[in-house]
Amino acid sequence: MTDPNVGELGAAVRAYRARNGLTQRDMAELAGISERALRYIEKGTIQRPRQASIRQLTAILQRSGGLAMAVLGPLVVRRGDRPVVIARPQLRSFLGLLALHANQVVSHAEIIEVLWGHEPPGTYRELLHGMVSRLRKVLGSDVISTRHSGYRLDIDPDQLDLLQFDAARESGDVRTMARALGYWRSSVLEDLPEAVRHHPTAIAIDKRRLATALAYAEAAMAQGESAKAADQLRLLLPNEPLHEGLHAKLMLALAANGQQAESLALYAEIHDRLVAELGVRPGDELRKAHVRVLRGKVAGRPESQQQLAPAQLPADVNGFAGRGGDLARIDALRTKQLVVIHAIAGMGKTALAVRWGHRELASFPDGQLYVNLRGFDPVAPPVDPGHVLGRFLRAFGVDPAGIPQDTDERAAQFRSLLAGKRVLVVLDNAATADQVRPLLPGTTSCLVLVTSRNRLSPLVAIDGGCPLALAPLEPSEASTLLENALGRTRVDAEPAEAAELARLCGHLPLALRLAAGKLSSRPQQTITEVIGELIGEYGLAALRLADDPRASVSAAFDLSYAALDPAEQTLFRRLGLIPGPDFTVPAAASLLDTPDPHQAAELLDRLIVANLVEPYASGRYRLHDLVRLYATEMCGDDRDAYARLMNWYLNKARAAARLLHADLQYLDDGQPSPADVMFADAGQGRAWLQAEEVNIVAAIRDAAGSSVASMAWLLADATNGYFLMRMRNLDEWHVSTRAAIKAAEQVGDGRAHAAMQLAVGAAYWRVGDLKRFVESCTRSWELARRVTWELGMVHSSAFICEGKLGLGLAREVMEPVERLIADSRTRDFTIGVVHGLILRGSALAQMGELRSAERSMREGVAIGSQSNSVVILGEALRCLGGVYSQLGRTREAEQAYADSAVAARRSGAWLQQIGHLIVMTRLAYQSGDRETAESLVQRALTLGEESGNRVSHVDVLGFAGWLFSACGCLPTAFEQYRRAREISHQGDFIFAEAEALIGLARTSVQMGDNSAALSFARQALSIAETQGYQVVIGQALTALAEAEIEQGNLAQAKTYARRALDVHRRTGHEPGERTTLKIIEKAS
């Protein structure tokens, strides 16, 4: 009989697993028993389970939220009194990183950087999901939460030693600080990899330990507990062998405890180490400690605490979020004595400086000074540094009668007073370097934090300051700020809307706080409603508080704008007219009344100094989203400047297109481009288009609704060829071309409307949606006919034929292709002739008239060689190479392929590069270099999939199937053909599907699956006979013959083979004829 207690235990274990999403294997590992034993216990089929197993399972079931984690040393996780084993190193690193940021969102980007560096695997998302799932099973389903842009460890303060340490260290009480230090076992996460161990947050935590230990030692010594102070300080020496403040404090503690000899020996050690490793001698603090030990003046409270220690920092910011990296950077720069924090208004400069100061109070026991220098106050002038010095001197207890009147003398007295002291000086809202310089201490033991909307470059270049440029918050940090201000419940009720609100606020702390303030004051208002105000007519006015006119984003920006001179203000306003995310000096110059790149560059430099413009890449600039909105509202409707900007984009785009894709510009008026927009060669033009791709799309969309609506379709027309060959973000192109179509319809420009329908069709061609491509081109043809635009009719007719040919409808295109060639010759339209000859050759090849196809293609190549379109020439050569291959003329095929590769490299077109890789793979294989061929085909497969073009992807898959089959990799070859068939069937690419079926049939024969081979070959034959694909008919018959031979049906095999031979000889398909003759010989 089964023990009833065991049955109850089994039921309880099953319920526990269900609640926590654990498998039996997970539970067994957690309990440290075998999976088999657990299974028997759950079923109740074991009579006497081991007592150890019962104890371990019972202990797990009795846990009630008893999770505890420790990171102040090696990573430790426990439940109750039992350790939770997390063995995998990467899983430990992930958990350690989350624990360092407990109750804060850690972004995906930061997690990826820590776990994999700059080269994450392609499956990193799946790996992350797996790690989170694994940790939830071990720790509990609610411990790690998924947020909008990352993950968060949700843990109570009493469950993590780091949170307990931080809570205790801020008290200032000796016993509480001792308890805080007691949580430490060694360095933060010392058993984890360097990426975690040396993470900026981990380093900052180690620094907090040091600061706490120093503060504790000072307080303990003041109470006569020098031995305890020395014990704590000794623990830090191995990790801080060069820290002068630590050694000085330990010297004093040792001497106060009667260990003068040991204290002096410690001084000798640090002295020699500083000289040997850094080439410097001890600083003021260490030397003074040495003198005090020598003189025996170490008893009682330290001298620094016998003087008045000012504490002027403003209150810490409530709900402060993020900035962990910036705080860590200040930690790293603290020995540099001067840090200049600069950014646009509202970025949180003051909050950062104040937060860091409060966090490091113990590091500056001699005082913290603060002053708002009012560098951008609209009412009062900037505060005079002499006045500030007077305030600082009085704060240290200097008799006002003893303070000099002269600013330089005050500065000298201030430097003398601070000599050897550890004081933090926060100079907030500085306007110029001259306002700051007199306020700088002259000692290395002090730190000055300056905040400014200007960069204050002279402080960096001349005074040795370290710049710290603040960027907007990370999305996860912005989310945390909103949660802190509004409460998690309200944000969780509208998570996507909260993320969108943060984005619209540009992740700017001031804007986020104002938006949160508005929501807090209106409990019934939803986040969605605030978003509506922001994107509607309110604009920046939505980011203000009604009861305080100064509490607004616009008011903050007004101060920076007012400090500009008139020329700077003019350019700044007009930068708001730029529709794209960034711009160059020439683009900015076009906005000036008299375009001058030199003047524009100088004005931009001055706007950069004012932190209103950000240089973020070589020669490129941008505005923060809210700064852009402010500039746009200030600018209003400046039509002349806007028209100059659009004309500049158009002239540059046309100049590039004339070098790259002249045949794909339908509305070019032929006027020569201005000299200042010309490119030296096609490579320069392509590089410009690549750099401006996003801006051009934005300009098209913006111009469509402007007073210069024609710019929308002219820009789209000028860049159509580029986007056709290279663009990946087709959704944006669709939106832009449709906007241009709407503008053309409103104006009544039929030619522009027809051209834009071709541009829409090009986007469909780009992804291989051939049916919609044909539909769009057909609409274009009808529009062109309506307005008697003959050239437009030629272009649209060519594209209709190309689309139908891709669908395998060769019979339908022969008549219109002949008409296209004749019309193009009549109009002396060379590109149209070449395009028509290629299409005719391809149609003839589909129908099995290979010799006629060759003649048409050769004529196309001959004429195409005289044109300036390397794209169409490359395609003609590649098609000709394919026909030569089918005719068995290998050397001529290789030459055509090689010439095609040269043209593809010159074109730089995305889809041409796929064809180029196929050609190079074929040449490598034919030369016997199998390894290179397999490497190249893998690149082609990747490119084909990434291209998003189904037609090209099918081409690559079919070719890869042939190559892998030739190399003997039959399962891989079969999979390539299978995918090619699947995509072809979905896209109605009839000819491509028939070819893929032939590949599947041949591969199946080679793999010994003759029944599958017969099925595939019969399907191919049915399609080919219906459509008239003669070459495919021959190949299908050959495949049927091969399969029948393998099944021993020699008579049937001969019948298929003789039919196939007749077809191959009629079409001229030499490889098929050669293979079929071998089959006939084998069957005889």
Average pLDDT of the residues in 499-503: 78
pLDDT digits (tens, 9 = 90+) for 341-365: 998 777 888 888 988 888 888 788 8
Report phi then psi at 153, rounded to 5.
-90, 115
Crossing angle of helices 850-864 and 830-846, rounded to 10°: 160
What rounded mean pLDDT belongs to the chain? 83
- Comparing C-alpha atoms, which of 353, 293, 296, 290 is closest to residue 323? 353
Crossing angle of helices 870-887 and 1070-1083, rounded to 10°: 20
Q: What is the pLDDT of residue 462?
A: 86
Assign domain 324-464 to its CATH superfamily: P-loop containing nucleotide triphosphate hydrolases (3.40.50.300)
| pTM confidence score | 0.59
pLDDT at 474 over 80: yes
Tokens of 358: 């409060």
Per-domain residue ranges of the chain: 4-61, 68-182, 224-306, 324-464, 475-559, 645-767, 989-1084
pLDDT digits (tens, 9 = 90+) for 102-155: 888 888 888 988 998 878 887 777 788 888 888 888 887 778 887 767 888 988
Cα three-residue angle 71-74-80, rounded to 5 degrees: 70
Q: What is the pLDDT of residue 726?
A: 66
Q: Is 406 exposed, middle or buried (0-12, 13-18, 19+ CB in 10 A)?
A: exposed
Q: What is the pLDDT of residue 302?
A: 43
- pLDDT class for 226, splitting at 50, 70, 90? confident
Which residues pair with residue 145 across a beta bridge? 152
Crossing angle of helices 870-887 and 890-907, rounded to 10°: 160
Residue corresponding to tokens 């654990």: 22
Q: What is the pLDDT of residue 522?
A: 67
What DSSP assignment string belongs to 742-764?
Answer: HHHHHHT-HHHHHHHHHHHHHHH
Which of the residue ranges 380-394, 475-489, 532-546 would you say has the lowest mean pLDDT?
A: 532-546
Residue 101 vs residues 98, 185, 477, 491, 508: alpha-carbon distances, Å: 5, 19, 11, 20, 21
Which residues pair with residue 341 across a beta bridge? 451, 468
The total of other beta-carbon atoms located within 10 Å of residue 640's CB is: 9
- What is the C-alpha to C-alpha distance for residues 879 and 896, in angstroms, rounded to an integer? 9
Average pLDDT of the residues in 443-460: 87
Q: What is the pLDDT of residue 231?
A: 87
Asked if 1023 contacts 996 with a C-beta cutoff of 8 angstroms, the reply is no
Average pLDDT of the residues in 545-574: 69
CATH architecture entry for 989-1084: Alpha Horseshoe (1.25)
Tokens of 941: 């497969």
Task: Provide the CATH topology of domain 4-61.
Answer: 434 Repressor (Amino-terminal Domain) (1.10.260)
Q: Measure CA of the first residue to CA of the last residue in the chain; give whole Å.
A: 76
Task: Provide the CATH topology of domain 224-306.
Answer: 1.25.40
pLDDT digits (tens, 9 = 90+) for 30-82: 677 777 777 778 777 666 677 777 777 776 665 544 688 999 999 999 877 67
pLDDT digits (tens, 9 = 90+) for 978-1003: 999 999 999 899 999 999 999 999 99
Q: What is the pLDDT of residue 64?
A: 40
Same fold: 224-306 with 989-1084: yes
CATH 1.10.3720.10 fits 68-182, yes or no: no
Q: What is the pLDDT of residue 954?
A: 92
Q: What is the pLDDT of residue 980?
A: 93
pLDDT digits (tens, 9 = 90+) for 278-304: 888 888 888 888 888 887 767 544 444
